[in-house]
Amino acid sequence: MTVNVDSYKYLSGFGNHFSSEALEGALPQGQNTPQKCPYGLYAEQLSGTAFTVDRQHNQRSWLYRIRPSVGHSPYVFYKRLHPDFASSEMRYIPNQLRWSPFPLPADDNPVDFLDGLVTIAGAGDPTVRNGLAIHIYTCNKSMEKRAMYNSDGDFLIVPQTGRLDITTEFGKMLVEPLEIVVIPRGIKFSVRLPQTHARGYILEVFGNHFELPDLGPIGANGLANPRDFLTPEAAFEDKGEAWQMYNKYAGQFFAAIQDHSPFNVVAWHGNYVPYTYDLRKFNAVNSVTFDHMDPSIFTVLTSKSAFPGTAIADFVIFPPRWAVQEHTFRPPYFHRNCMAEFMGLITGEYEAKAKGFLPGGASLMTPHGPDATTFEKASNEKLVPTRVADNTMAFMFESSLMLGTTQWALSTEVLQNDYEQVWNGLKSHFRTNK
Q: What is the pLDDT along the chain (434 residues), one digit of tens a residue?
A: 677 777 899 999 999 999 999 999 999 999 999 999 999 999 999 999 999 999 999 999 999 999 999 999 999 999 999 999 999 899 999 989 999 999 999 999 999 999 999 999 999 999 999 999 999 999 999 999 999 999 999 999 999 999 999 999 999 999 999 999 999 999 999 999 999 999 999 999 999 999 999 999 999 999 999 999 999 999 999 988 999 999 999 999 999 999 999 999 999 999 999 999 999 999 999 999 999 888 899 999 999 998 888 999 999 999 999 999 999 988 888 888 888 899 999 999 988 776 889 999 999 987 788 888 888 888 999 999 999 999 999 999 999 999 999 999 999 999 999 988 888 888 998 988 86
pTM of the model: 0.96
Per the annotation, the verdict on 17 as an active-site residue is: no
Within 13 Å, how many C-alpha atoms sit on residue 274's CB side?
A: 29
**Contacts of 301-305 spanning 24+ positions with Cβ under 8 A:** 301/156, 301/182, 301/210, 301/211, 301/212, 301/213, 301/224, 302/210, 302/211, 302/212, 302/213, 303/132, 303/154, 303/205, 303/207, 303/208, 303/209, 303/210, 303/211, 304/208, 304/211, 305/207, 305/208, 305/400
Known binding residue 335? Answer is yes
Q: Do residues 89 and 72 touch, judged by C-beta distance below 8 A?
A: no
pLDDT score recorded for residue 1: 65
> Which among 294, 279, 277 has a CA at the least distance from the CA of 339?
294
Q: Do residues 201 and 135 touch, judged by C-beta distance below 8 A?
A: yes
Choice among 269, 292, 327, 429 that is catalytic: 292
pLDDT score recorded for residue 6: 74
pLDDT score recorded for residue 401: 94
From CA 279, how far away is CA 230, in angstroms rounded?
Answer: 12
pLDDT score recorded for residue 346: 98
Amino acid at 55: R
